Amino acid sequence: MEDENSIKKIFKQSRAIEFMQKEELQEEVKEVGTTAFEMSNISLKLNSYLDIFSDFDPREFSEKALSVDFIEEAKRASRDKVSGQLTLRLLMPKKLRNLDKEKVIKKRLIEHFAKHAKTEKSEYKKTFRSGIWFIIAGIVTMILAAFFIYESAQANKFMHFLLIVFEPAGWFLFWEGLNQAIFESKKFKPEYEFNAKLSKCEIEFISY
């Protein structure tokens, strides 16, 4: 009888431990989910829809230029966000909300970010290609100076002059090409990543 009671007691204790571990695991999963949700959200508080757009542009919301302040705030808010699907949450006073206007604004925001992402990507490719062509031109110039002009320069003053010009020109083209392909092209990366990220995000208007 005592053995049976001991077994029951041990069984109850093991079930209690199992239940506690399950609760702890659920709390951890919930916390991770909440953290991931927060890390994928960009929240900006607005006083009106006009906060999104430039004060100097009189056009309709469907064509209106975005405010520099709004874009800068969105950039700052998106810097620490993980890559992947983002949600741009725009907090608006409840009494000022207009669903028809919000549809137009959402479309305008996506168009703006998609257009600028395409532009930055194009500039990156253009600068990178320019750098590669500079590198090729520099190598070709140095080869000409080394194998052709150098031999003729021994007896010909004009060819000697060309050698003096071609050698530094080749090195200049080569290093300038590396600078453009490696460093200058990277300057477009932050803007491209920001606009590409926002062009694919989900936009929500929330009342406060």
58 pLDDT above the threshold of 80 = yes
Domain range list for the chain: 40-207
**Averaged pLDDT, 91-100:** 94
> Which residue pairs from 129-133 have beta carbons closer than 8 angstroms and sit at least 24 positions apart in sequence?
130/177, 130/180, 131/176, 131/177, 131/178, 131/179, 131/180, 131/181, 131/182, 131/184, 131/185, 132/177, 132/181, 133/177
62 pLDDT above the threshold of 70 = yes
Question: What is residue 9's predicted lDDT score, i.e. its pLDDT?
Answer: 53
DSSP 109-150: HHHHHHHHHHHHHHHHHHHHHHHHHHHHHHHHHHHHIIIIIH
Predicted TM-score of the model (pTM): 0.72
Question: What is residue 166's predicted lDDT score, i.e. its pLDDT?
Answer: 81
105 pLDDT above the threshold of 90 = yes
Q: How far apart are CA 189 and CA 140, in angstroms?
A: 30
Question: What is residue 19's predicted lDDT score, i.e. its pLDDT?
Answer: 42
Q: Could you report the per-residue pLDDT of 140-190, keeping only the tens digit for each?
A: 998 888 776 666 656 677 777 777 778 889 999 999 999 999 999 999 999
67 pLDDT above the threshold of 50 = yes
In the β-sheet with 202-207, what is the strand arrangement from edge to edge?
Answer: 41-45, 87-92, 202-207
Question: What is residue 30's predicted lDDT score, i.e. its pLDDT?
Answer: 41
Q: Could you report the per-residue pLDDT of 112-130, keeping only the tens digit for each?
A: 999 999 999 999 999 999 9
Confidence of residue 22 (pLDDT cuts 50, 70, 90): very low
